[in-house]
Amino acid sequence: MPERKQPPVSRDELNECRRCPLWRNATQGVPGAGAVHARIMLVGEQPGSQEDLQGSPFVGPAGHLLDEALQAAGLDRDKLFMTNAVKHFKFEWRGKRRLHKSPAQQEIEACNLWLERELEKVHPTVVVALGATAARAVLGRKSVTLAGMMETPVEHQGRLVIATYHPSFALRQRSDEARAAAFERIVRSLRAAARLARGVKTG
């Protein structure tokens, strides 16, 4: 069984974090979870509403779609480490609903301490950045070209980084065709990550 003891960052540490204001409105911090020495780490943008309530990453609608993509790509979630660039849910109220609001650059940078610790402790061979915010956080850049990183992995600090759409992007597509195309792009990137983790070149 994959080792799951002593996660790199604890929920208590995140709940005590005051590096940015997002803790004020969030229910709790959401640390990464999964196999402590995973070869593949998935990094999303931030927790969503369900993640904020449950305290675990990728347990909401986007997480369920990601599970489908992982299954289609032949990857076992239990052998991966999954986390987010920002550890608290940023939202705005729309009536009684909490709607996702993209984190600001200073919030991404404030949370980088935690992401870097997860990267150092897990020491993955491959990082899959789900969306542009995750890619910027992993690479330490203020801007990235997501499309380019989908086709060509980037070597960064001794690991390979490949980017793809966040599952929430697929969920937001209005047509079945667009949703299916986004989903297939995610699956292709996950398959590429699996090959890279095995030491097989992509392309």
* C-beta of residue 39 within 8 angstroms of C-beta of residue 197: yes
pLDDT of residue 71: 98
**Contact partners, residue 171, CB within 8 Å, separation at least 6:** 61, 62, 65, 179
Phi and psi of 12, rounded to 5°?
-60, -40
Within a domain: 46 = yes
Mean per-residue pLDDT over the chain, rounded: 94
Nearest to 34 by CA among 70, 78, 1: 78
How far, in Å, CA of 196 to CA of 162, rounded?
10
pLDDT at 5 over 70: no
Within a domain: 203 = no
Within a domain: 6 = no
Within a domain: 2 = no
Tell me the average pLDDT across 20-37: 96
Banded model confidence at residue 1, pLDDT cuts 50, 70, 90: very low
User: Got the DSSP string for 136-199?
Assistant: HHHHT-S---HHHHHHS-EEETTEEEEEE--HHHHHH-SSHHHHHHHHHHHHHHHHHHHHHHTT
Within a domain: 132 = yes
Query: Considering its fold, how many domains does the chain have in total?
Result: 1
Comparing 68 with 145, which gets the higher pLDDT?
A: 68
The single residue listed with the structure tokens 């969306």 is 131
For residue 94, the enclosing domain spans: 11-197
Phi and psi of 159, rounded to 5°?
-135, 160
Comparing 78 with 199, which gets the higher pLDDT?
A: 78
Q: Tell me, what CATH number does 118's domain have?
A: 3.40.470.10
Within a domain: 102 = yes
Within a domain: 202 = no
User: Got the DSSP string for 22-51?
Assistant: GGGTSSS----EE-TT-SEEEEES---HHH
Within a domain: 177 = yes
